[in-house]
Amino acid sequence: MALTQVSSSKCAGGFQKVFEHDSTELKCKMKFAVYLPPKAETDKCPVMYWLSGLTCTEQNFITKAGSQLAAAEHGIIIVAPDTSPRGCSIEGEDESWDFGTGAGFYVDALQDPWKGNYRMYSYVSEELPQLINANFPTDPERMSVCGHSMGGHGALICALKNPGKYKAVSAFAPICNPMQCPWGQKAFSGYLGPDRSTWEAYDATVLAASYSGPQLDILIDQGRDDQFLSASQLLPDNLIAVCSEKKIPVVFRLQPGYDHSYFFIYSFINDHIKHHAKYLNA
């Protein structure tokens, strides 16, 4: 699978790059960002996958989150894909900001006209890691996943659906129980259809209730002044309740004064990378 380099900038001693490739899962050209720390010049490095939220591309995280210094310090490659297929000419894909383009929700769609292209779950959990491991100096056994909002949902489900695959997982303001919130219900109805039993495979709260894999230490940061928390889009209490029942360790930090923005992510990204490094570099 051929990669085309779109950009490369020296950053924190390493390189922040963007590549484009033809995706077999999504049947379109896709871009992803990859940060290569200085250590990658001489050694194989672990990989942290970052999954972004609604409306984002591969650019938001690499320009706003300030992750590169910590990634350089801990010798971690960070891969940040786009949030949906692009330019598939599907009717309705650009009609709303929370469905279609920029809103793939990290599911494999079951409904027409989405099911041919909208396979973001398989893309981020299978195709992309294979592509990264084939083209960059990675240790395929050491990978982790992190994300924000819709991407926090994506990170949690990737870890819970693949016991042992990801050494660590964390999230910023994740959509914890999409079956119960307006964003999730809109996306799941459109991509997966009316049968709610198909939705359960992509809901972190439901997946946590049946998780039986190796211990997963989850770190979640949530801004207390997040407008989507008060609008009941995120529902972290539902996930925390299930995790405490199942004895899945969760560190949940409600951060006073912070909202849903990248200013919030920037403020705590170092803690998250440190959390991942603890397990990736063990």
Question: What is residue 178's predicted lDDT score, i.e. its pLDDT?
Answer: 98
- In this predicted structure, the answer to whether residue 67 has a pLDDT above a threshold of 90 is yes
Cα distance between residue 125 and residue 67, in whole Å: 21
Per the structure, the count of domains in the chain is 1
Residue-wise pLDDT tens digits, 230-253: 999 999 999 999 999 999 999 999
> What tens digit of pLDDT does each residue of 149-170 get?
999 999 999 999 999 999 999 9
How far is Cα 240 from Cα 246, in angstroms, rounded to an integer? 10
Judged on CB neighbours under 10 Å (0-12, 13-18, 19+), 105 is buried
Task: Report the CATH number at residue 276.
Answer: 3.40.50.1820
The rounded distance, in Å, linking the Cα atoms of 278 and 255 is: 22
pLDDT tens track for 177-225: 999 999 999 999 999 999 999 999 999 999 999 999 999 999 999 999 9
pLDDT over 90 percentage in the chain: 99
269, pLDDT greater than 90: yes
Active-site residues: which are they?
149, 226, 260
Instruction: Count CB atoms within 10 A of the CB of residue 103.
Output: 24
Q: Domain of 27?
A: 4-281
> Cβ(233)–Cβ(34) under 8 Å?
no
The pLDDT, as a whole number, for residue 106 is 98
Q: Spell 209-221 as b/e; 16+ CB within 10 A means b.
A: bebeeeebebbbb
Q: Is the model's pLDDT at 1 over the cut of 70?
A: no
Please tell me the distance from the alpha carbon of residue 252 to that of residue 23, in angstroms, as a whole number: 35
* Arithmetic mean of pLDDT over the chain: 98
Per-residue pLDDT at 228: 98
